[in-house]
Each structure stands twice: as structure tokens, then as C-alpha cells.
Chains A and B, each alone.
Chain A
């Protein structure tokens, strides 16, 4: 029997109090996520239960009980306090998927700080944009990634401390400090910051079509949504061994790679290694993973390796699979049924929503290729893009919209009230994604409503790429668009007009690719570059990015009456 039972019954008779009561949320005036993910689990008598089994790429394994997580997050919280970090200040986590990333996240919350995780593959330009906007006070990082932070530090006057979690004997620079989470004395008792429901907790940056990335600011009340969706959608149970493959530099990795499983008292496993089908299957077999939450791109990469790769391993421990990040195509769902004897259950949500919104549920019929139905307590619809009124005819494509008020909804875009306000129309939160709803109430994803590029489940803003391209000495004009890709759904393609004196060449193409990869991130790197004599522009001089995108997708180019040149 699944945790959710009958989806229809749950949807009809739902109240978020179900989650609050199970969590005893607000007991003794405490709403701090850090407490609910560690101390509370220990208070329930599960202190000796494994919270995390971590495996590195060399095969090294580390294990942490809930009591370890409780004490080490206390140690982190006290250390940050001793460094002068105050409640409400932003503390960045910039490291690979090592145990400190997971445990220090809770430590930041326990001392009242706002955790700001950033993807460790970000280049200096991506980093500075996000750290400058957040006025980040401290960065927790590793020797491997410290160089990038050091090189931009002069431009970050608010950054008081760089904390190296794996420092060796080499002397550190002024303003840097070593922190050995497991080397310092365990802090058994820590006065956890008394968070209110609306106390800020996590700041995750996400990209838009225009402007700089926006910091979606969440609050401790998000736990109410993250706990219950983990229990009902991921179907987490006491004996599960749970593997979320997402990196906590992105929202899935915190909402469902830390908060969801640990507030449910579940054992989770982490593999800190690059993707390979054999390694992943061997990891599932070795760890006896029962619940696996991954992404469509990864599933399609596994499909590419075929059934033979699956058959080499005993994957019988798997009992439930789910997926997030981009639409899960019907072919992948059907393949999964053949490969693992069960489908991947697609889930839809966003950085801004903080928790799952439209999902497929254990026990509910899966229509392969569909996003599923709204989670209980979520009022969802599809609205007309001009009137913002719900469309009532099944199959009509519109914008996916949610009635505001769910517990894990972002409370602001950091320093960007205008953009935040623009996300709400006619009493609905507009997701920026398009879909239709069929006669049975299932949602069917169509695509983005803007120029944001969804590559392997990560949103990349064209504006950021175009701005960075213009910093290359050869680039006069540029446009970045998403190009269809069988594995990643979309990859970045750049159109470039060169400055006089530069000629297109494969050398220059590779140089520009690497330039963007290092400056922004591998995700933002154009996988294809097309050199053009000039860019198509409107008569007012604006590059017609949408026209270039439409060409890549084989779509109608649309109205080109304002086009300046060919």
C-alpha cells in the first residue's frame, strides 16, 4: 500500500495540517528545518539510524547516523557563529557532492543563516553575479573550488570569510579559515535559532529570459510541503534506501536531496562521481537502493546503453522510481517498465515552487508522457496567455498557473520585487511553462513560454550567455537559443557575428565554446556555433532571437514584418 493511498480521496479531503501534525511543526515555537531534519529524528529514537551513506568516485565510503548529522550540523552552526555570521545573512555552499555539502546546509539553517547553494561547476562570472546580488557573507568551499572564489573576491566587499572545509597544511590567505567538520570537537548541544514559519531559509538562483539570474527566496515553512510530497509522491518509508541523483547546487538537491528524506527519517545514499551507466547500476546494486529520484536526461543516457547494461546487475531492490527536471517522454516511461519492471513517475515543479506541484502518484494510473495531476492542496490550472483566465476546453494549450498560498512557495526574488510581482496575474502564479489538460485531468507539457533554455533539466538564461559572448574579443553580436537535443531536451546553440578582422574557423569555434564553459558553466557552453555575417534584427535594432530559435525547432517563424534585414 502506498503512503498516499487513493489520490482522489486525498485530493478531495486535504488540509496541509496533515503534514504539520505529523511533523509536530511549531512544537515549542520551533520551525527550523535544521531541527526537523536532525534533532527531531534523534528525539524519535532514531539517532543511531543511518542518515547518509556517501560514496566518492574512488570507492571511498563514509557513513553518518542521524546523531552524527545532528552533532556535525551543530558544529557547523557554532563555527559560523564564531566567525561572526549573523542570522539572516547569506552563507554560500560551493562544493561537489561531499558530505559537508549536505550537513553544513543544515548547520547554516540551525544558526539562522540563509543557505545559498551554488553549482560547483559554475565559472567566475556566474559566481560573482550570484554572490554580489545576495551580498553573501561567507562561502563554504573546498580547495578544488577555492581558486574561483579567490579570484573574484576583490569585487565582493560584503564577503567576509572564505571557509575551506578540506584545508591541508598550506597557509591560507587573509580572510580565509579552515573548518574540519569532523576534526573539531562534536558540538552536542546547540541553541538552534528559533525560526518562525516565514523566516528566510534558502536562496536558490534561477535564470530568466532577460536580466541577471533571480534569487528565489524560500522560508522554513517550505518544510510542510517538502515533507509531505516526499512521503506521498516519492512514497518514502522507514526502511527505504533513497537515492536522489540531483546536485544540491540546484533546488531538487536541497528540497529532495536533503530536506525531504531527512525530515522523513529515511536513509539516503549519495554518489559523488560523474555519470556512467555501469557505475550507476553498480551503485544501485551495491547500496540496495529502493527509491530512486532522477532526471529524464539521465534516463535517456541509460536508455542509450541498452538493456544489456541493465541485465548485468541485480536491481531487484528498486521498488519506486520518479523523475524531475524536464518532461519525461513516453518512450522513456515505456523503456523503464521493460528495464526495471516499473515506470518512472514524472513530477513537475520549479525552483520557485519549492516543492512538487503536478505529479504522478503510486497507485494512480500513469499515462506515459503526461505530467500527472496536481498534488493535494495545490490549485492548478492552465490559463489563456492573454486574459489569464483558466481555459475550460480539454486539450487547449495555455500557461500552467497555480493559486498562490502553498507552503513552499518562494516569498520573493532577492532584491527584485518588480520581477516577482510580474509572476502573478489575475490571482495566479504563472509558471512560464505551457501545457494542456486532458478530459481526465492529466497535464501534458508543451514547452516554455519564454526563451529560457532547459538543458538536462537546468534552466539557462540566453541573456547571460549573450552577455558573456560579447566579452570575447572576436564577438560583435550574438544570440543564444535552445536547440532540440535527443538526450538533453535542449542544448545551447549560439549565433555569432564576428568583429572585422576575425574569420570563422573551427579553432575560433572551440575557443568560444571553452570561453563560455569557463566563464559561466558547462551547461551554458554552446554545443554548436553558427557564424553569421549579420544577425536578424527588428527595425529598432533588437536581435530577433525568437526567429533563430523557431528555425532550430522547425517552427513557423511568425511575424517578420518588423525585420530589418534578411
Chain B
């Protein structure tokens, strides 16, 4: 289950945040924020996607760059706020 969710988030990140010509690999521990793949403004759209997909609410104070910095971190965050993953 968790692996499927990871794959789904990775695919979303690749589709939405990488250039269509990019050959960059994204794995579950790839740095998303520190590497600049997702910037602090784009974090808002990623947060909206997660909230919608998992029917949860992520409080702003918990939606930190660290919490979004890898797919693994994201899984931990959405789990904390009730996502069944």
C-alpha cells in the first residue's frame, strides 16, 4: 500500500515539477525542496494535491520545507494527519 502511494507521489512530482525533457530520477529519498525541484511557492500546489488526494488537512505550521523535502518525509507527514497509507 505504502509503496503504491510512494509511486503515485513520485509520478505526480515528476509530471508537475520536472521539465518534460528532464531525465532526472526521483526516488523516495530524493531531496525535493533543498534540490530546488519544488520551491517554497510550488509547495502550496503540492500541499493542495495531497490534501485533496488523501482528504486531509495539513496545518500551515506543519507544512514546513523539511516536511516536504522527500517523498518519505511527505508520507510521514500525511500519515500524521490521518491519511491511511
- Min distance, Cβ B65 to any Cβ of chain A, angstroms: 4
B69 touches A276 (CB 8 A): yes
Find chain B residues with CB under 8 A from A403 CB.
none
A207, B62: Cα distance in complex, Å = 33
Does any Cβ of B come within 8 Å of A426's Cβ?
Answer: no
Q: How many residues of chain B have a CB within 8 Å of chain A?
A: 26
Query: In the complex, are the beta carbons of A121 and B24 less than 8 A apart?
Result: no
Closest chain B residue to A528 by CB distance? B44
For A275, the chain B residues whose CB sits under 8 A away are 33, 40, 65
Say yes or no: B20 contacts A522, CB within 8 Å: no
A456 to B22, CA, bound (A): 28
Q: Shortest Cβ distance from B30 into chain A, in angstroms? A: 11
User: In the complex, what residues of A have CB within 8 A of residue B36's CB?
Assistant: 57, 96, 272-274
Q: Is A523 in contact with B52, judged by CB distance below 8 angstroms?
A: no
Complex alpha-carbon distance, A107 and B80, angstroms: 51
CB pair B52 A276 closer than 8 Å: no
Q: Given A274-B39, A275-B40, A304-B61, A510–B34 Cβ distance below 8 Å?
A: no
Contact B22 A144 (CB under 8 A): yes
Decide if B40 touches A147 in the complex (CB within 8 Å): no
Measured in the bound complex, the distance between the Cα atoms of B39 and A273 in whole Å is 10
At the interface, yes or no: A513 with Cβ under 8 Å from chain B?
yes
CB-CB < 8 A to A278: which residues of B? 66
Q: Which residues of B contact A506 (CB under 8 A)?
A: 48, 52
B29: interface (CB < 8 Å): no
Q: Is B16 an interface residue, CB under 8 A from the partner?
A: yes
Residue B2 CB within 8 A of the other chain: no
B21 in contact (CB, < 8 A): yes
Which of B16, B22, B24 interacts with A514 by CB under 8 Å?
B16
Q: Which B1-58 residues have a C-beta within 8 angstroms of A?
A: 16, 19-22, 24, 31, 33-36, 38-42, 44-45, 48-49, 52
Contact with B along A271-290 (1 / 0, CB 8 A): 01111111100000000000
Q: Which chain A residue lies CB-closest to B38?
A: A274
Cβ-defined contact, B44 with A147, below 8 A: no
CA distance A514 to B44 in the complex (A): 10
* Contact for A513 among B31, B39, B48, CB less than 8 A: B48
Contact status A150-B21, CB under 8 Å: yes
Which residues of A are found within 8 Å of B52, using beta-carbon distances? 506-507, 510
The residues of A that contact B22 with a CB separation of less than 8 Å are 144, 147
Query: Nearest chain B CB to A203's CB is how many angstroms away?
Result: 24
Contacts of B19 in A (CB 8 A): 144-145, 147-148
Residues of the A chain whose Cβ atoms lie less than 8 Å from the Cβ of B24? 144
With A304-B61, A506-B52, A527-B44 in contact, is A274–B20 under 8 Å at CB?
A: no
Asked if A274 contacts B34 (CB within 8 A), the reply is yes
Q: Please name all residues of chain A whose beta carbon is closer than 8 Å to the beta carbon of B65 when the two chains form the complex.
A: 274-277
Give the distance in Å from the alpha carbon of A506 to the alpha carbon of B40 in the complex.
21
B42 touches A522 (CB 8 A): yes
Contact A274 B45 (CB under 8 A): no
Shortest CB–CB separation between residue A33 and chain B, in angstroms? 28
Residues of A within 8 A of B31 (CB): 57
User: What B residues does A148 contact at CB under 8 A?
Assistant: 19
| Min distance, Cβ A336 to any Cβ of chain B, angstroms | 20
- Tell me which residues across on chain B come within 8 A of A274, comparing CB atoms: 33-36, 38-40, 65
A145 — which chain B residues lie within 8 A by C-beta? 19
Find chain A residues with CB under 8 A from B21 CB: 146-147, 150
Asked if A273 and B41 make an inter-chain contact with CB atoms under 8 angstroms apart, the answer reads no
When chains A and B are docked, how far (Å) is the Cα of A148 from the Cα of B19? 8
Please name the residue on chain B nearest to A147 by beta carbon. B21
Q: Is the CB of B20 within 8 A of A147?
A: yes
Complex formed: what's the CA distance from A518 to B52 in Å?
20
* A273 lies within 8 A of B35 (CB): yes
Nearest-CB residue, chain A, relative to B45: A513
**How far apart sit A361 and B40, CA to CA, in the bound complex (Å)?**
31
- A269 and B66 CA atoms in complex are apart in Å by 23
Instruction: Evaluate whether A525 and B42 lie within 8 angstroms (CB atoms) in the complex, with A147-B22, A274-B65, A278-B66 already known.
Output: yes
A277 and B20 CA atoms in complex are apart in Å by: 30
Residue of B nearest to A123 (CB): B19
A517 sits at the interface (CB 8 A)? yes
How many Å lie between the Cα of A522 and that of B46 in the bound state? 12
Contact B66 A57 (CB under 8 A): no
Contact yes or no, B45 A525, CB < 8 A: yes
Extra contacts besides A57-B36, A301-B40, A522-B41 (9): CB < 8 Å: A144-B19, A144-B22, A144-B24, A150-B21, A274-B35, A276-B33, A522-B39, A525-B42, A527-B41
B contacts, CB < 8 Å to A: 16, 19-22, 24, 31, 33-36, 38-42, 44-45, 48-49, 52, 61, 64-66, 69
10 contacts between A and B (CB under 8 A): A144-B22, A147-B21, A148-B19, A273-B36, A274-B65, A305-B64, A456-B40, A506-B48, A513-B45, A518-B16
List 7 tightest A-B contacts by C-beta distance, closest first.
A147-B21, A522-B41, A274-B33, A276-B65, A57-B34, A522-B42, A147-B19
